[in-house]
Structure 1
Amino acid sequence: MTLMAAARVHDRTGTLRLEKVAVPEPGPRDVLVSVASAGLAPSLLKLLERGSFKHLPTVPGHEIAGTVVAVGDEADPGLAGARVRVHPVLACGTCRYCRGDREQMCASVAMIGHGAHGTGPMPLYERYHDGGLAEYVRVPSWLVDVLPGGVGFDVAAKTHDLANAVRALKCAALPPGGTLVVTAATGTMGTATVKLAPFFGAARLVLVGRSAQRLERVRELSSLPADTVALDELDGDWETEGGLTGRLRDLVPDGADAVLDFLPQGGGTAQATAALATGGTLVHMGGNRAPFPYSARDLQHHCWRVVGTRACTRTDTAAVLDLLGSGALRADDLITHRYALADVNEAFAATRRRTEPIWMAVVHP
């Protein structure tokens, strides 16, 4: 039996143990990937604490890129030796959501190396719950994407986050030349959105985050004109007195065409909504539990659209890979932190502390 190093979680506390376990055997329709890079997602440990991981112990890590080293008898033999990224979304493939480019809404949806989110049976998750924080991972052959030349493994591993931003931008349906507000702009999703916004109709950005210094670094990523709003520089009672709305209205008197909101908590979501133009769109992907203070009449009066969205689809990831492969999109500068597998607990701790700016982080097993 051949062994490999793997970081495994055994309970909801989130502490990972570096262990030696058997290299998984690929089944007839599987491929075995030698992991070159695995992305870190801060939400992973939160989902673990909530019980979304249904199989313990397990190897977490849903953002995976590497090289195919073994191919099952019924899989495409041409995948052998291919540089690939893994699409982690496990879904039935036949329901109305899967047929309609909305597989993240499937009743059987779960993710390789991540949580189970569906309400129905999840047979694929039973087999493929182990993820990429290991030297090797077994995945369905139909869920690997061959990488375009010139796309490195680190960016390939983070394709899923870039595609999440694509999904949010599609939901925003910006008019050509639109003004887009991005909240939590200094995080993973914010920086991904800044990179991708020019391809989805945006002509101007307004970036909202805690720190003016960190926002300035993010503004340097943008190929578009970008203003910034630092929450730390607003009046101390801004959440109750409308300080964010006022600042956004100063910058965009006629209102923003869309807000892409990644705030996980607090009153910023509602206040950014109040800065929308008539007919504008709020797209929320932050999981904010704060009460939303607008009535149905408010939505009708302002003709606002409010869209909740999560994750991405294969179509979204294909769009990212096309942009990367053509050279139109360059995202290597988003990878700010790289860790060895032995340092994975410190890596997750750093993403929680956020004492230094972390846009995207990866682990090299």
Structure 2
Amino acid sequence: MNLMLAARAYEGSDELRLEKLPVPEPGPQDVVIKVASAGLAPGMMRLKARGAFKHLPTTPGHEVAGTVTAVGDEADATLLGRLVRFDSVLSCRECRYCRTDREQMCAESAMIGHAAFGTGSLELYARYHDGGLAEYVRVPSWLVDVLPDGVSADVGAKVHDFGNAVRALRNAEVPEGGTLVITAATGTMGTASIKLAPFYGAGRLILVGRSAERLEALRPLAGDLPVETVALDDLDDGWESDGGLTRRLRELVPAGPDAVVDYLPQGPGTGQAMGSMATGATLVHMGGNGTPLPFDVRTMMHRCWRFVGTRSCTRGDTNAVLDLLGSGRLRVDELITHRFALTDVNDALAAMEDRTEPMWMTVVRPEGEES
């Protein structure tokens, strides 16, 4: 029996356990991928602690690129030997959401190597919950995308996060040349959104984050777009309760920004960013912030604001990313700032949680090659 190394999540443990498991065999419609690179999501262990991982023990890892080493009898045999990534969102493929490029809203919605969000039977999730923090992973062939020429496995592994950014930017509906605020700009989703913003209408960016130094490092990512930054640590004491972020954004944009893409996981920044917006503007939230908004629905009505909550991405979103990467118009290799060996996966998780040093995007490589 061929064995592989895998990082396993167990009930009640805040670390992953390295184990030897059998290399998976493909079912009729499956492929087996030898993992070259697996993306690491900072919120993964928090979701597990909340009970969102419905099958434990499991192998996490929903962002993967690698080479197809085996295909099932009913799968596309031409995938064998190709460098691919897989789309991690499982869904029924038949409901009104799945038929309209909204599969993350399907009752069967769940993610390979990640959490389950749907309220249905989750039969596919039961079969495919094991993900890619391992040397090999088995996935449905219909979720596999061949990577364009010149796209590395590291970038391929992070296509899902870029797809999330596309989902947020599409929902923001930034008017052509408009001013876009991106909060939590120094994180994975913030940096992805900066790179993609020029393709979705933005003509000016305002980046919000904790540290002025870390925000300054983001300027080159925006290409030719003008960029201004707002460091929360530099706002006046008490900004959290007296609207200091709203005032600062209005100083920069007196009429208010045209849209906000918000990834803040907690705190008053979401509401204060929204409070700065122009009449008719949109805030898209993808941060899981539980802090109540500081105004009532009537205020939102009078200002004609839109609030859009969204999570994950669709196949249409990731296809848009792959098209941009394949055309050469989008280059994102510089966003992969940290690489860890699979044997050091817990060190990687700790570093992402600690955030002592800037980490834009992090991948795990089963064959090592840390940096």
How big is each residue's C-alpha offset from its partner over 1:36-94, in whole Å with a ceiling of 9 and x where there is no partner?
00000011000110111111111000001000000000001111111100100000011
Which residue matches 2:232?
Answer: 231
Which residue identity does 1:29 align to in structure 2?
Q
Answer yes or no: is the 8 Å Cα contact 1:61–1:112 preserved in 2.
yes
How big is each residue's C-alpha offset from its partner over 1:227-265, in whole Å with a ceiling of 9 and x where there is no partner?
000000001100111110111001001110000010001
Tell me the distance in 1 between the aligned counterparts of 2:232 and 2:43. 22
Which residue matches 1:306?
Answer: 307
Tell me the distance in 2 between the aligned counterparts of 1:271 and 1:161. 25
Aligned positions of 1:1-365 closer than 5 A: 1-223=1-223, 224-365=225-366
Structure 2 counterpart SS, 1:220: helix
Which residue identity does 1:329 align to in structure 2?
L
Which residue identity does 2:320 align to in structure 1?
A
Which residue identity does 1:352 align to in structure 2?
E
Answer yes or no: is the 8 Å Cα contact 1:338–1:362 preserved in 2.
yes
CA RMSD of aligned residues (A): 0.6
Tell me the distance in 1 between the aligned counterparts of 2:143 and 2:216. 37
Alpha-carbon offset, residue 138 of structure 1: 0.3
Tell me the distance in 2 between the aligned counterparts of 1:16 and 1:288. 26
Structure 2 counterpart SS, 1:171: helix
Structure 2 counterpart SS, 1:96: coil
| Higher alpha-carbon deviation: 292-301 or 123-132 | 292-301
Answer yes or no: is the 8 Å Cα contact 1:282–1:305 preserved in 2.
yes
TM-score (norm 2): 0.98
Which residue identity does 1:5 align to in structure 2?
L
Tell me the distance in 1 between the aligned counterparts of 2:158 and 2:166. 13
Structure 2 counterpart SS, 1:155: helix
Tell me the distance in 2 between the aligned counterparts of 1:54 and 1:268. 32
Which residue identity does 1:125 align to in structure 2?
Y
Which residue identity does 2:94 align to in structure 1?
T
* Count, aligned residues: 365
Tell me the distance in 2 between the aligned counterparts of 1:13 and 1:232. 33
Query: Percentage identity across aligned positions?
Result: 68
Structure 1 counterpart SS, 2:218: helix
Tell me the distance in 1 between the aligned counterparts of 2:300 and 2:272. 14
Alpha-carbon offset, residue 294 of structure 1: 2.1
Tell me the distance in 1 between the aligned counterparts of 2:12 and 2:278. 43
Alpha-carbon offset, residue 118 of structure 1: 0.6
Where does structure 1 differ by over 3 angstroms across 4 or more consecutive aligned residues? none
Tell me the distance in 2 between the aligned counterparts of 1:298 and 1:167. 26
Tell me the distance in 1 between the aligned counterparts of 2:11 and 2:193. 33
How big is each residue's C-alpha offset from its partner over 1:159-191, in whole Å with a ceiling of 9 and x where there is no partner?
000010000000001111110000000000000
TM-score (norm 1): 0.99
Tell me the distance in 2 between the aligned counterparts of 1:204 and 1:13. 44
Structure 2 unmatched runs, 5+: 367-371
